[in-house]
Amino acid sequence: MEQHSHLRQWLRTVASLGLIVLVSMGSATSVIHADTTNQPFQITVDGAWVQGEGTSFQRNGSIMIPIRVVAEAIGATVSWIPKEQKIIMNKGQRNVQFLVGSKQALINNNEEEEIPEGPEIREGRVFIPIRIAIDSMGATIRWDASNHTAAIESFLSPTDAKEQIASIADKTILAIKNKDFTTLSKMSSREQGILFAPYSYIDQKRNIVIPHEKIAEGFDNTKTYLWGTEDGTGDPISMTFESYYKRFVYSKDFASAPKIGYNQTLGLGNSLNNVRMIYPESIIVEYYFGGFDPVYEGMDWKSVRLVFEREADTWVLVAILHNQWTV
């Protein structure tokens, strides 16, 4: 579909440069081995489709996927050290190391673990077992045989995320709806303030961050900011906080949205979603409308994403991301 064209092009570029992994699905291995159809499958991270065409296949019942695509989607980085034939994955304080030809993985620099398949090089690419790689990054893999999908949950599962954040998220979205900026300030990060992105892609060099102490000013803050650029035209989004709020924060009654996703991506377009790379151990709550005018067949969907991180033993708001169909 057209909505995946930009993503597929990007994924092909990443795949051409990246490593390849051999998937071992742990307890679900028997399910995969029972599948001999070689039917194409999908990889999702937090509900978002991340795999391009032609990049996945099976070998002896095991799934093969490009590691960099998945690693970046869960907020991890991958390094290849040719001299030592070593692969290293890092995410925050977590890391795992593999050596080509060895069936030992080193987790967090001190714990060795046996792995079912050692890394190997084929046609200039390195294959590693994804189960231990994903597990060591604090993520999980669930194999959905009926939909032929390998679903990766990068941090907390949707159920666990909802349990931890639902009441805080409800209070936050109501504060946004009611323009209660005093409460919103109390919900925000004292250290980071709140980052505002007009679309799903976060540009830390250009997106505006309003400090914690200025959030309470609300619309009394009449400064004109350059929030980013317009999708399609590239024109500057230059406006006051009040104007930005009306167009890119609470453009719909999101507190009454029919769907809410907790660490799940509901709104899928062709704009890259890098929120997990920027905030790898966050809870992301998405308030989603699937569309408004039937003539557009859902392409007029809109959502707002609230991003929460732990700070002083509580969850605080660090980013508000507006999301919609982009060209």
Q: 194-197 and 208-210: which strand pairing?
A: antiparallel
In single-letter form, the type of residue at position 195 comes to: L
Q: 259-262 and 283-289: which strand pairing?
A: antiparallel
What pLDDT does 266 receive? 84
* pLDDT (tens place) for every residue of the chain, 327 residues total: 443 444 344 333 333 334 445 444 333 322 233 243 455 567 777 767 775 444 666 666 566 666 777 777 787 888 989 899 998 988 888 899 999 888 888 999 888 888 777 777 776 677 777 777 788 887 878 777 777 777 787 778 788 889 999 999 999 999 999 999 999 999 999 999 999 999 888 888 889 999 999 999 999 999 999 999 888 788 999 999 999 999 999 999 999 999 999 988 887 766 667 888 788 889 999 999 998 888 888 888 999 999 999 998 899 999 999 998 876
Look-up: residue for tokens 């231990």? 132
List the one residue out of 62, 15, 26 whose CA is nearest residue 41: 62
CB within 8 Å of 247: residues ≥ 6 apart: 239
CA distance 85 to 185: 49
Q: 125-129 and 20-22: which strand pairing?
A: parallel
CB within 8 Å of 254: residues ≥ 6 apart: 173, 176, 177, 287, 289, 303, 304
Common-topology check for domains 2-153 and 158-324: no
CB within 8 Å of 107: residues ≥ 6 apart: 95, 96, 113, 132, 136
Backbone angles phi, psi at 203, to 5 degrees: -115, 100
CA distance 109 to 130: 18
What pLDDT does 30 receive? 24
CA distance 174 to 180: 8
CA distance 95 to 78: 10
- At residue 313, the 3 state secondary structure works out as coil
**Alpha-carbon radius of gyration of the chain:** 21
CB within 8 Å of 243: residues ≥ 6 apart: none
Q: What are the angstrom distances between the C-alpha of 117 and each of 65, 82, 88, 113, 144?
A: 15, 20, 16, 12, 22
CB within 8 Å of 182: residues ≥ 6 apart: 216
Taking a C-beta distance cutoff of 8 angstroms, is the pair 70, 152 a contact? yes
Domain 158-324 is of which CATH architecture?
A: Roll (3.10)
Q: What are the angstrom distances between the C-alpha of 56 and each of 1, 42, 142, 149, 245?
A: 18, 8, 17, 11, 41
What pLDDT does 62 receive? 60
Pick the CATH number of 2-153 from 3.30.457.10, 1.10.1760.20, 3.90.550.10, 3.30.1280.10: 3.30.457.10
DSSP state of 263: S
Structure tokens at 193: 């303030």
Which of left, alpha, beta for 232 (phi over 0: left; psi -120 to 50: alpha)? left
- Domain boundaries defined on the chain: 2-153, 158-324
What pLDDT does 60 receive? 61
Backbone angles phi, psi at 240, to 5 degrees: -75, 170
Taking a C-beta distance cutoff of 8 angstroms, is the pair 290, 301 a contact? yes
